[in-house]
Amino acid sequence: MTTLGILGIGHLSEHLVAGWMRSAEPPELLLSPRNAEKAEALAERFGLSIAADNQALVDRSEAVLLSVRPWHALEVVRGLTWRPGQSLISAVAGLLLADVQAAAPQAKVTRVMPLIAAAVGESPTTLYPEDALTRAIFAPLGPVVAVPDETLFDAANIAHCYYGCLYALMEQAEAVMAEAGLDPASARLLASQATRAAATMARDHHQEPLDETTAAIATEGSFTKLGLDHLQEREALTAWAEACRVIHRAIREA
């Protein structure tokens, strides 16, 4: 069993821990004392240990997940002693692999970008570069997608921001159903399940172009086409695509 030290206990780490602990064979998790209140809450909830300090966490771990604020990350890494070949997995957005590697030259560095959906085993995790240990650690949380270079890692992470935007879209559909008199719980279930159903169909029928799927559903005279035509007339889908490009530019320039 891999011992995974989590260096930085924040919002993302809480969801990752929850996902690992619901899996059939979770890694042996060790928490850092950073953000003591959250670390203690997680330790109590799942029966985990908290390291005495960050160096003790590194010393006791086969792999270490770096999950701290970008402006603190390199300082934290430089202040620690790493074993030759020890796995250092960075989940710090915008921090280049070369910068982390320079801060810990003896470690073997990889980058990942999971989602909070890891808590329910539904997180796609972007990985760079391919690494068997990192893949095995994150596989219980959802599909792991490795990319061949860091430029593509940035492009792939558009999906992670897209994920966050989907909640706003679901909120609108849910609100309109509730306005029409549907109880909020049913409106939430219908909006979220419809989103999940579309995602599952797109994933499992990935050889089929999405525009063909849309055309098969939004047939002439259908209510779905009425809604899509409304969006097209207002260039809402064009704005949605541009939002993805804005996200991509910001990721590259970070």
Residue 35: the pLDDT is 82
The rounded distance, in Å, linking the Cα atoms of 87 and 112 is 12
Cβ-based neighbour number of residue 3 at 10 Å:
14
- The pTM of this model reads 0.91
Q: Considering the chain, what percentage of its residues have pLDDT values greater than 90?
A: 93
Q: How confident is the model at residue 251 (pLDDT cuts 50, 70, 90)?
A: confident
What value does the mean pLDDT take over residues 143-155?
96
pLDDT band with cut points at 50, 70 and 90 for residue 172: very high
**Separation of alpha carbons 124 and 222, rounded Å:** 33
Task: Annotate 221-235 with DSSP letters as a single string.
Answer: T-HHHHHHHHHHHTT
In this structure, whether the domain defined by 3-151 belongs to CATH 3.40.50.720 is answered with yes
Strand arrangement of the beta sheet that strand 108-113 belongs to: 49-50, 28-31, 3-7, 63-66, 87-90, 108-113, 125-128, 144-146
Cα gap 26→94, rounded to integer Å: 28
Confidence of residue 253 (pLDDT cuts 50, 70, 90): confident
Instruction: Give the 3-state secondary structure percentages of the chain, helix then strand then coil, rounded to 5.
Output: 60, 15, 30
* Concatenated DSSP letters of 45-86: HHT-EE-SSHHHHHHH-SEEEE-S-HHHHHHHHHTS---TT-
Q: What pLDDT was estimated at residue 133?
A: 98
H-helix or E-strand spanning residue 7: strand 3-7
| pLDDT tens readout for residues 97-136 | 999 999 999 999 999 999 999 999 999 999 999 999 999 9
Domain definitions of the chain by residue range: 3-151, 158-253
Predicted local distance difference test score (pLDDT) of residue 252: 87
The answer to whether residue 14 scores a pLDDT higher than 90 is yes
**Residue 22 structure tokens:** 């619901």
Give the three-class secondary structure for 106: coil
pLDDT at residue 1 above 80?
Answer: no
What is the pLDDT at residue 34? 80
Q: Report residue 192 as tokens.
A: 């979220």
Q: What is the pLDDT of residues 186-213, one digit of tens each?
A: 999 999 999 999 999 999 998 999 999 9
Q: Which residues fall within 8 angstroms of residue 21, CB to CB, at 6 or more apart?
A: 29, 46
Q: What's the one-letter identity of residue 225?
A: K
According to the model, what pLDDT value does residue 240 have? 94
Partner residues linked to 112 by β-bridges:
127
Closest by Cα among 171, 147, 176 to 159? 147
Question: What is the tens place of the pLDDT at every residue in 213-228?
Answer: 999 999 999 999 999 9
Instruction: Tell me what the mean pLDDT of segment 174-179 comes to.
Output: 96
The distance of Cα 64 from the centroid of its chain, to the nearest Å, equals: 17
The CATH number of the domain covering residues in 158-253: 1.10.3730.10
| Coil, strand or helix at 210 | helix
| Coil, strand or helix at 99 | helix
Residue 254 has pLDDT above 90, yes or no: no
Average pLDDT over residues 242-250: 93
Q: What does the pLDDT look like over 27-69, one tens digit per residue?
A: 999 999 988 899 999 999 999 999 999 999 999 999 999 999 9
